[in-house]
Structure 1
Amino acid sequence: MNLIHQPDSTVAASTSIATSFRHTHIFAKMFRSAVLRSLRVAARPAAVRSFAAPRVASVAVPKIQSFQAVRFYSAGGALNKDEVEGRIMSLLQGFDKVNDVSNIKSSAHFANDLGLDSLDTVEVVMAIEEEFSIEIPDKDADSIHSVNQAVEYILNQPDAA
């Protein structure tokens, strides 16, 4: 005897609600266990956590993704004499205190040939430092009085650029 008679649509709705409740209940349990697991790990002291075996599933990673990008820096090629000489001569051509630009040669002396005084020579040496990204100590700067001496000094500097 059927005491309660429910139409088919009501039975289907009840079954659907029960199924979705069951699925929701399963997901809630999974979520709860994941939260509790992470709280347990977070509550451990750092020393214990660092020695504990990680509970991460092993996943195969393609070689491209496992490649780690690394930057390599290298020094540029060594400077050659002609390049250094050309850069110093063009630097001197732009220097407004040179008395005659036609006197700028590889053998030119800053004071005798170009008419530069000691302060001008210091400015030229500072411009050379900036041009080649180096620092010339004062004792070495005092010995640079010509284009040739400047070229030789730069060529002997491994970090000149």
Structure 2
Amino acid sequence: MTLDQINSRLQAILSNIGVKFNTLTEQAHFNRDLGLDSLDVTDLLVQVEDSFSIRIPDDVWWKLKTVGQLTNYLIDEMVFD
């Protein structure tokens, strides 16, 4: 999987939960900048795990606060072609 594919999937997932594309930056904080509440963040987790066929441990998940942190975690976990 390439970085572009990871970004594309994340954009689609965030769009599905109501995040506007123009607000997406690597520094965008899930709560402060994107306005996600705890239920939205949980939904995000479920969709990310399903879309990428991975399991993100709870103790790791709650440390991921920004789009960039999530992207970097996925990069570390995914195998690039």
Residue pair 1:93, 1:104 contacting (<8 A) in 2 also: no
1:140 aligns with 2:60: yes
CA drift of 1:126 comes to 1.4
Structure 1 runs of 4+ aligned residues shifted over 6 Å read: none
Normalised to the residue count of structure 2, the TM-score between the two structures is 0.81
CA drift of 1:81 comes to 2.0
Match for residue 30 of structure 2 among 110, 123, 131: 110
Alpha-carbon RMSD:
1.9
Aligned residues: 79
The answer for the alignment partner of 1:128 in structure 2 is 48
Bigger Cα Rg: 1
Task: List runs of 5+ in structure 1 lacking aligned partners.
Answer: 1-78
Residue pair 2:17, 2:40 contacting (<8 A) in 1 also: no
1:153 aligns with 2:73: yes
Percent identity of the aligned residues? 32
CA drift of 1:82 comes to 2.3
CA drift of 1:157 comes to 1.1
Superimposed CA distance per residue, residues 66-111 of structure 1 (whole angstroms, 9 cap, x where no aligned partner)? xxxxxxxxxxxxx222221121012101113x3xx12123332111
